[in-house]
Amino acid sequence: MADDGLIKGRITDDSVDQMRRRIGYPNPTVRSGTVTLPWNTECTPDSVRHFCEGYGDDNPLFVDRRYGAGTRWAGQVAPPGFEATMGYDRSPVVPEPLARETRGALRGVQLFHSGNESRFYRPVMVGDVLDRMNVVHDVEDKQSEFAGRSVLVTNKLTWANQRGEVVTDQLKWFVHAERRKVKEAEAVGADTRPRKPKDAAASYSDEQLADIEAAYDAEYRRGADTLWFEDIEVGATLPTMVKGPLTVTDLINMHMGGGWFGYGNPALRLGFENRKKMRGFYTKNEFGAWDVVQRVHWEPELARAVGVPAAYDIGPMRWAWLLHYCTNWCGDDAWLYRVRGEFRAFNYMGDATWISAVVTDVQRSDDLGSIVEIEVTGTNQRGQKNINGWATIILPSREHGPVVLPEPPPLPAELAAAHEERSA
C-alpha 73/C-alpha 380 separation (Å) is: 36
Q: Is the pLDDT of residue 140 over 90?
A: yes
Mean pLDDT of 216-229: 98
Burial zone of 371 (CB within 10 Å; 0-12 exposed, 13-18 middle, 19+ buried) = buried
Residue 5 is predicted with a pLDDT of 53
- Going by C-alpha positions, the residue among 282, 298, 260, 310 that lies closest to residue 3 is 282
What share of the chain in percent tops pLDDT 90? 82
Residue 109 is predicted with a pLDDT of 84
- Going by C-alpha positions, the residue among 105, 139, 111 that lies closest to residue 24 is 139
279 is a domain residue:
yes
Residue 379 is predicted with a pLDDT of 98
373 CB-near residues (< 8 Å, 6+ apart) = 359, 360, 361, 362, 390, 391, 392, 393
Mean pLDDT of 337-354: 97
6 is a domain residue:
no
> 90: part of which helix (H) or strand (E)?
none
C-alpha 137/C-alpha 114 separation (Å) is: 15
Cis preceding-peptide flag for 92 (omega within 30 of 0): no
383 is a domain residue:
yes
Residue 191 is predicted with a pLDDT of 44
- For residue 416, give Cα distances in angstroms to 209, 341, 412: 51, 29, 6
169 is a domain residue:
yes
Residue 112 is predicted with a pLDDT of 92
pLDDT in tens, 363-411: 999 999 999 999 999 999 999 999 999 999 999 999 999 999 999 999 9
8 is a domain residue:
no
64 is a domain residue:
yes
346 is a domain residue:
yes
pLDDT in tens, 244-281: 999 999 999 999 999 999 888 999 999 999 999 888 88
Rg of the chain on CA atoms, in Å:
22
What share of the chain in percent tops pLDDT 70? 92
Q: How do beta strands 353-365 and 241-243 pair?
A: antiparallel
Mean pLDDT of 229-239: 98
pLDDT in tens, 40-80: 999 999 999 999 999 999 999 999 999 999 999 999 999 99
Domain housing 291: 13-423
List, as one string, the DSSP characters of 49-86.
HHHHHHTT---HHHH-HHHHHTSTT-S-BPPTTGGGGB
- For residue 42, give Cα distances in angstroms to 45, 145, 381: 10, 41, 39
Residue 307 is predicted with a pLDDT of 85
Q: How do beta strands 88-89 and 130-144 pair?
A: parallel
330 CB-near residues (< 8 Å, 6+ apart) = 222, 227, 336, 393, 395
Q: What is the mean pLDDT of the chain?
A: 92
Mean pLDDT of 103-114: 88
> 114: part of which helix (H) or strand (E)?
strand 109-120
7 is a domain residue:
no
Return the ∠ at Cα 421 (arms to 415 and 424), rounded to 5°: 140
Q: Which residues pair with 116 in a beta bridge?
A: 172, 341
Domain count, the chain: 1
Q: Is the pLDDT of residue 7 over 80?
A: no
Residue 194 is predicted with a pLDDT of 46
Return the ∠ at Cα 351 (arms to 345 and 357), rounded to 5°: 65
- Going by C-alpha positions, the residue among 56, 52, 104 that lies closest to residue 78 is 52
CATH value at residue 188: 3.10.129.10
Residue 280 is predicted with a pLDDT of 83
Residue 420 banded pLDDT, cuts 50, 70, 90: very high
C-alpha 46/C-alpha 43 separation (Å) is: 8
Q: In this structure, what DSSP letter does residue 22 have?
A: T
- The whole model's pTM is what? 0.94
Secondary structure (3-state) at 279: helix
pLDDT in tens, 175-184: 998 866 655 5
Q: Is the pLDDT of residue 418 over 60?
A: yes
The answer to whether 334 and 392 are in contact (CB under 8 A) is: no
